[in-house]
Amino acid sequence: MKNSVTSKISVILPVYNVEKYVKEAIDSILHQTISDFEIIVIDDCSSDRTVAVIEDIDDVRIKLYRKKENKGLIDSLNWGFELASGEYIARMDGDDISVLNRFEKQLSVLEQNPDIILCGSWIQHFGASEDLVKHKEHHNKIATRMLLHCSLSFCTSMFRREILVPYRFDETKKHVEDYDFLSRVVWAGKLYNIQEVLYQYRVHEMQVSTIHKEIQIQGDLPIKLFLFKKTGYDATKYNDGLIAKMLLLNQPISIKEFDLFLKWIKELILLNSKSKVYPQKELENVLKRIKRTLLFSLYFKETAIGITKQWRWKALLKLPINDALYVLKLKTREISKAIVKT
């Protein structure tokens, strides 16, 4: 049952065995520069002192919900969507930290721009990594780069409850639920990333992203295919197996398949120039990156399966002149470095 008194923002905070970090996470919310929010904490049957730590924090804005059985993060998020009553929802993880003016800045963006349905930010890793993730600012680049990877960190986001809650999270997308969710809501309105760090992401060895990295790579594929198919290409001619094989490079590739993949890229550019599903320039940049990454792997990495010198020469003849020159330029540079070393 939702609260009779509605807060401006509902913060959804799923937790599971984060006793070391959860107080710091909640404190970073409680000390925000705006205070009109509720914190919906959903515990997924923690076996450590996570619940006890939360119960020791004295603040009426904290609403703790304890699940009767461990059902995972996706179940917690969907339950959080049901419990949330605020006009906006903010996401937060139990081992991370929100910068103290995060909510104020995101709320300002959303209230001043009614066409923006979700607002994220840059993200600073800390702990086992110190990476700084600078997500693109505007919707066009965010949407098009979804073809490469999840181009917005959902844990940093604040969004309009009424628009996004009906989408819910897909129980079959375990470990890639954020990417899947965003790949669907990106068509419902504009997404935006504030160009500064408003979220600090703790990196440690027990995180899902660390433990299940290979599963995530495999899980990303159907999401990318869903997004590519928005252009309307012939999925019988350019079947899912072909596209997956070329993106993963985990199986031998024939010259015929290589040539067909190059034609697929040209087809996407042509179709999109008519349908305008993605901004044309951005799509061409993304497809160029995909092609160049593929070529680098095929010509300069020994991990590519079944790729011989003979295969490389035959494939070179299939390439557009600019891509062939790219390969030859890199090959010349590689030979020059080898000569210098000797």
pLDDT for res 334: 82
Query: Which of 50-54, 209-213, 292-296 shows the lowest mean pLDDT across its residues?
Result: 209-213
Count of residues making up the chain: 342
Reference 57, options 84, 22, 86, 92; nearest CA is 22
Extract the tokens encoding 35: 């205070």
Structural domains of the chain, with CATH: 9-212 (3.90.550.10), 232-341 (no CATH)
Find out whether 216 and 175 touch, Cβ atoms under 8 Å: yes
Cα separation, 192 vs 205, in Å, equals 30
337 vs 199, more confident: 199
Find out whether 103 and 90 touch, Cβ atoms under 8 Å: yes
Reference 298, options 235, 254, 236; nearest CA is 254
Residue 328 has pLDDT above 60, yes or no: yes
Taking only the tens place, the pLDDT of each residue in 73-101 is 999 999 999 999 999 999 999 999 999 99
The dihedral through the CA atoms of 333, 337, 340, 342 has a sign that is negative
Query: Which of 91-100, 141-150, 325-334 shows the lowest mean pLDDT across its residues?
Result: 325-334
pLDDT for res 296: 94
> Phi/psi of residue 3, each to 5°?
-70, 145
pLDDT for res 110: 98
Residue 18, judged by CB atoms within 10 A of its CB (0-12, 13-18, 19+), counts as buried
Element (H, E) at 317: helix 309-318
Residue 226 has pLDDT above 60, yes or no: yes
Residue 210 has pLDDT above 60, yes or no: no
For 168-316, strand residue ranges (E) read 190-203
Cα separation, 45 vs 79, in Å, equals 14
Cα separation, 88 vs 103, in Å, equals 10
Extract the tokens encoding 212: 């299940």
Residue 32 CA, chain-centre distance (Å), reads: 25
pLDDT for res 33: 98
pLDDT for res 58: 96
Q: Is 246 helix (H, G, I), strand (E, B) or coil?
A: helix
Query: Which of 86-90, 160-164, 333-337 shows the lowest mean pLDDT across its residues?
Result: 333-337
Residue 4 has pLDDT above 60, yes or no: no
Q: Which residue is associated with the tokens 């897909």? A: 170
Taking only the tens place, the pLDDT of each residue in 243-294 is 999 999 989 999 999 999 999 999 999 999 999 999 999 999 999 999 999 9
Count the neighbouring beta carbons within 10 Å of the beta carbon of residue 100.
Answer: 16
